[in-house]
Chain A
Amino acid sequence: MTSRSWLCVVALCACAVSAVAADDARVSKAFTSRAQAWVESDPSARAGARLGDLLTPEVADHFEKIIRAAFRGKNGRNMRRTIREPVPARTVTLRVNDAYPEDIPTTTMPPTLLSRLPELPKELAYRIIGRALVLVDIRSNVIVDFIPDAIPKVR
């Protein structure tokens, strides 16, 4: 392969990487805007909320990618320790608009994961229940949306 061909390959790779990054940024930005609109919406309008309204399939894919990368990273083992509960909580059936179960302790959100996920409006928080990533409204402690199997299984 000539040096000109190599340059073309490198340029194409760089374009592909920047296109993926731009797409990820677009998905994050759209999610953050939707989350902000949700926070400002009339509570009565949220009564009919359904799974995936905020964490759409596109957002879920994006988040799962972020979470997988974070758990594979150099702090992955510490993150596992952070979210591990010594006594496994009971199995919870999650439903949008249900109250966050009072008898389930809050799992510490790993700070290194929080630094990678899009920042939420201050009225919302990420939680981990089992393998689900859950969005909670901290004003009412109600489940806003969730991604069921977002946290990778322990190998």
Chain B
Amino acid sequence: MRVAVRRVVLCAVLAAVGASVYGQQLTLPRQPGSVRFAAIGDMGTGKTPQYEVAARMEMFRQAFPFDFVIMLGDNIYGGNSAADFIGKFEVPYKPLLDAGVKFYASLGNHDSPTQRVYKPFNMGGRQYYSYRKGNAQFFALDSNYMSPRQLAWLEKELKDSDADWKIAYFHHPLYSSAAYHGSSVELRLVLEPLFVTYGVQAVFAGHEHVYERVKPQNGISYFIEGAAGQLRKGNLTKGTTLTAAAYDQDLSFILVEIAGDTLNFQTISRTGMTVDSGVILRRPAGAPATK
């Protein structure tokens, strides 16, 4: 309990000190009516680094009021008791939860499937699901178990969606330059053809405890954000042809804003430094996906 109190105090101090300073570093356009969210992965440790990233997210939310957070798996490490959910989710993200920010989880390899019924994860009892926010549709997948049933569901959902932006997220990255796990080639074989066929423009994954933005593959932008709770410092293989931008020196999270035909992103470190930012332009419907 004493540790939890200390962390709340630490978060409050960080928030008070940093809010005004770091809010100025925001590069996102903040257009009225835009879809705004954050992406975090591999965060559920309950340890100080997770709390520090959570506090930084809250600071940035003051300047960039995002409405929801996509969770890229490994949401709760090491157990599924009530205390685990409190110490590894409810306390660190309390300021965000209190502000009405919703969390939409996908399951990682350290997550129990029973997390799907935990209300604040908004999974609605499902291991994979989709939801719409403005002109974007999100597809939260269970990459631990890509069964024929899930693939058939995904194909139907993608086919039926008339959203301008189709965004998929799940735990295991289809492309990765990190040395620890590397690319999930088998998953790529079954998922990428669907993404290409049905116009998915951006994919977010975790699993590697680093940040990486992969050069567009078959017209699709791939992000890895698995460093929102722990870090594998120096784990990225340098000089691969895959990497567009990467960061493995500190923990991080991504902020995203979708406005019309543009998706802006900004990746921020635990200390508030912008480590990557950019814009993705929407491919017109029916435009061929190019490598």
What residues make up the interface of A, taking CB atoms closer than 8 Å to B?
75, 78-79, 81-82, 86, 100, 102-103, 105-112, 114-115, 119, 122, 125-126, 136, 138-141
B168 to chain A, nearest CB (A): 15
Interface 1/0s, chain B 111-127, versus A by CB < 8 A?
11110000000000001
In the assembled complex, which residues on chain B have CB atoms less than 8 Å from the CB atom of A119? 147-149
Question: Is B144 touching A138 in the complex (CB atoms < 8 A)?
Answer: no
A140 to B116, CA, bound (A): 12
Q: Which of B22-30, B49-57, B181-189, B282-290 contacts A (4 or more CB under 8 A)?
A: B181-189
Interface 1/0s, chain B 253-282, versus A by CB < 8 A?
000000000000000000000000000000
In the assembled complex, which residues on chain B have CB atoms less than 8 Å from the CB atom of A107? 109
Given the known inter-chain contacts A114-B146, A122-B149, A125-B145, please indicate yes or no for A82 contacting B186, CB distance below 8 A. yes
Question: Is B184 touching A82 in the complex (CB atoms < 8 A)?
Answer: yes
A139 to chain B, nearest CB (A): 8
Q: Which 5 A-B pairs have the closest CB atoms?
A: A138-B113, A105-B109, A111-B146, A111-B190, A106-B109
The secondary structure that dominates the A interface is: loop
Question: Is B80 touching A112 in the complex (CB atoms < 8 A)?
Answer: no
Question: Is A115 touching B148 in the complex (CB atoms < 8 A)?
Answer: yes
A86 to B180, CA, bound (A): 7
Chain B residue with minimal CB distance to A105?
B109
Question: Is A108 touching B80 in the complex (CB atoms < 8 A)?
Answer: no
A110 to chain B, nearest CB (A): 5
Indicate whether B21 reaches chain A with its CB closer than 8 angstroms.
Answer: no
Interface 1/0s, chain B 71-83, versus A by CB < 8 A?
0000000111000
In the assembled complex, which residues on chain B have CB atoms less than 8 Å from the CB atom of A81? 182, 185-186
Indicate whether B47 reaches chain A with its CB closer than 8 angstroms.
Answer: no
In the assembled complex, which residues on chain B have CB atoms less than 8 Å from the CB atom of A86? 180-181
A107 to B181, CA, bound (A): 12
Interface residues in B91-127 by Cβ distance below 8 A to A read 109-114, 127
Chain B residue with minimal CB distance to A113?
B186
Question: Is B78 touching A102 in the complex (CB atoms < 8 A)?
Answer: yes
Question: Is A111 touching B151 in the complex (CB atoms < 8 A)?
Answer: yes
What residues make up the interface of B, taking CB atoms closer than 8 Å to A?
78-80, 109-114, 127, 143-149, 151, 172, 180-182, 184-187, 189-190
Question: Is A112 touching B148 in the complex (CB atoms < 8 A)?
Answer: no
In the assembled complex, which residues on chain A have CB atoms less than 8 Å from the CB atom of B79? 102
A6 to B147, CA, bound (A): 42
In the assembled complex, which residues on chain B have CB atoms less than 8 Å from the CB atom of A105? 109-110
Question: Is A79 touching B181 in the complex (CB atoms < 8 A)?
Answer: no
A83 to chain B, nearest CB (A): 9
Given the known inter-chain contacts A114-B147, A122-B149, please indicate yes or no for A78 contacting B127, CB distance below 8 A. no
In the assembled complex, which residues on chain B have CB atoms less than 8 Å from the CB atom of A115? 148
Partner of A109, one of B112, B146, B181: B146
Partner of A78, one of B112, B151, B180, B185: B185
In the assembled complex, which residues on chain A have CB atoms less than 8 Å from the CB atom of B146? 108-109, 111, 114
A147 to B194, CA, bound (A): 33
A70 to B145, CA, bound (A): 17
Partner of B113, one of A78, A108, A109, A125: A125
A136 to B145, CA, bound (A): 12
In the assembled complex, which residues on chain A have CB atoms less than 8 Å from the CB atom of B186? 75, 78-79, 81-82, 108, 110-112
Question: Is A108 touching B149 in the complex (CB atoms < 8 A)?
Answer: no
Question: Is B112 touching A108 in the complex (CB atoms < 8 A)?
Answer: no
- Of B80, B147, B186, the most chain A CB neighbours within 10 A belong to B186
A7 to B270, CA, bound (A): 74
Chain A residue with minimal CB distance to B127?
A138
A97 to chain B, nearest CB (A): 16
Chain A residue with minimal CB distance to B190?
A111
Chain B residue with minimal CB distance to A102?
B79
A112 to B181, CA, bound (A): 19
Instruction: Using A86-B181, A111-B186, A126-B145 as known contacts, list a sample of 4 further A-B pairs with CB atoms less than 8 Å apart, ordered by residue number in A.
Output: A75-B189, A82-B184, A138-B113, A141-B114
Question: Is B80 touching A102 in the complex (CB atoms < 8 A)?
Answer: yes
Question: Is B149 touching A109 in the complex (CB atoms < 8 A)?
Answer: no
A84 to B281, CA, bound (A): 37
